[in-house]
Amino acid sequence: MKILFVCLGNICRSPLAEGIFKHLSKNEQIKADSCGTGNWHAGNLPDRRMSETAKKHNIKLKSRARQVKSSDFYKFDLIIAMDRENKNHLMNLATSDKYKQKIKLMRDFENIYSNSNSNLDVPDPYYGGPDGFEHVFTLVYKCIKNLISYLEEKN
């Protein structure tokens, strides 16, 4: 199985999700990657503030930013968008219903067993302060833990 995490520029939320997933997942059969809907940061390492936040939790972010490609819909089994804007962008890029069914929101996995999400977006911490990065870490960490549990139950 291959999972793709998607945010806007691929320097904050999606590389964090990829890093947390790789850190927590014990299943070597599941591969994770990340990308952005835009290409502004292509080739760059994750945002320094996001990397520092992850490092405080013993997680190293190693990916380089890239933009989503149409071939990603074929390559990946599950595509997880960080917010509704990212999801809408992906839905517009998807060329078939089969590909659209692969797209989920990160916070779909926040309360996976209760279906009580009040806010479906993982906020973008880029223009905020350190508290925003820590808040995003906490949200994404919880979602990734639930995603891994969901995948283990499914298999």
User: CA dihedral defined by 11, 132, 90, 155, rounded to 10 degrees?
Assistant: 90
- Write the pLDDT tens digit of every residue in 78-128: 999 999 999 999 999 999 999 999 999 999 999 876 655 567 899 999 999
* Residue 64 annotated to the active site: no
Q: Which of 33, 47, 83, 124 is catalytic?
A: 124
**For residues 97 and 27, what is the distance between their CA atoms, to the nearest angstrom?**
28
Q: Which of 12, 13, 49, 108 is catalytic?
A: 13
How many Cα atoms sit within 13 Å of 94 on the Cβ side? Answer: 20
Q: Which of 7, 12, 35, 143 is catalytic?
A: 7
What's the pTM? 0.96
Q: What angle do CA 155, 112, 24 make, to 5 degrees?
A: 60
Give the model's pLDDT for residue 119. Answer: 78
Closest CA to 79 of 155, 11, 7: 7
* Residue 124 annotated to the active site: yes
- Write the pLDDT tens digit of every residue in 52-73: 999 999 999 999 999 999 999 9
* Residue 13 annotated to the active site: yes
**Domains of the chain with bracketed CATH:** 2-154 (3.40.50.2300)
Q: In a 3-state reduction of DSSP, which class is residue 46?
A: coil
- Write the pLDDT tens digit of every residue in 131-145: 999 999 999 999 999
